[in-house]
Amino acid sequence: MKSHRTCNDINPNNTAEARAKRNAWVERRLVEAAEKDAERYGILLRRFRSGYINLQSVKQRLRIEKFCLINNPVTDLEIIEHLWVSMANGDHSSPTIIRPYTVWTFEYPRVGFGTLEDYDLSADIIFNTLYFFTKQGNLVVDPMAVGGVVGDVCKVMKRKCRMFGVNPFRDDIEEWDMHVQGFPKIGEAADLVFWNPQQQQNDISMIKSTAEGLRDNETKLLAFLISDFFNGHSENNIFFEDYTNIFIRAGWKHAATIQCPLSKSRYSNGQVERARYEQKLLPLARSLVIFENTAALQSQEKEVSA
């Protein structure tokens, strides 16, 4: 009888023993690096040991960390191109990650930025947001950080960043429960707040108070990532227009809307079949709404002209 060859027979590097050896070697390298620079590599080591990131993610992160030490390239496009974030058919002049459209579709998270907890927030959305709406040296705030993807992209794109979250496992995420404590006290006006409320998107009172507070503390731009909220009863549903009107009433100017659909992979085959049978729609629509604080921007323009 003819025997069947397994993948491990063809590629001995895929065996469990080989993978364990590679992981042990990477961990030793990370330990050595953390002893020399605990601030930069300590977080990476803890994330690797805890299982938040795998070997492929570590390799990508190390490449990103090495890249961040280089002064060149200078412009945002050069940064993206030289980092090899995403290239089209070897065309070095046109990084496909930058989407000059009002629809940004990214099916999967980008390895090396954030953690598995950021599965619904691709780093490519952050790259595009920073590219089109901020400048190098600007302060970006993520008040509801989970895996740290916003901070990771800001580091590469040469933006300052402060992240806040509940029960953070990264040292660069400050502990703060926005649902209970309100918007974090940052002591200065942010150039951009990237706000992904996730499970808290039905807390309308928090969203209203935050919209007013951010306007008063002279936050210049707000990027609000939101999808329609379905509560099972039509009278309790919250739609895109409801969220937008909250900010407009609070004095914000609606500057742009970019469609950032959720990945179809978030639904299992069973969920899809059940929805089809029950004649129900599974939400995939999601919008990144850009709001301008007109008063803050006018004040900034006056200071520059003076």
Instruction: Parse the chain into domains and list their residue ranges.
Output: 73-305
Residue range 73-305, CATH number: 3.40.50.150
Average pLDDT over residues 98-110: 85
* Residue 297 scores a pLDDT above 80: no
* Listed residue (190, 182, 187) closest to 223, CA to CA: 190
* Residue 73 scores a pLDDT above 50: yes
Percent of the chain with pLDDT over 70: 71
Q: 124-146, pLDDT tens digit by residue?
A: 999 999 999 999 999 999 999 98
Cβ neighbours of residue 40 closer than 8 Å, sequence gap 6 or more: 33, 65
Average pLDDT over residues 92-120: 75
* Residue 306 scores a pLDDT above 60: no
Q: 244-284, pLDDT tens digit by residue?
A: 999 999 999 999 999 999 888 888 999 999 999 999 888 89
Let me know: does 290 contact 256? Beta carbons within 8 Å: yes
pLDDT score, position 249: 92
Q: What does each C-alpha distance from 187 to 61, 218, 219, 239, 301 come to in angstroms?
A: 30, 11, 11, 33, 21
**What pTM does this model have?**
0.76
b (16+ CB within 10 A) / e for 4-17: eeeeeeeeeeeeee
Mean pLDDT score of the chain: 79
pLDDT score, position 21: 75
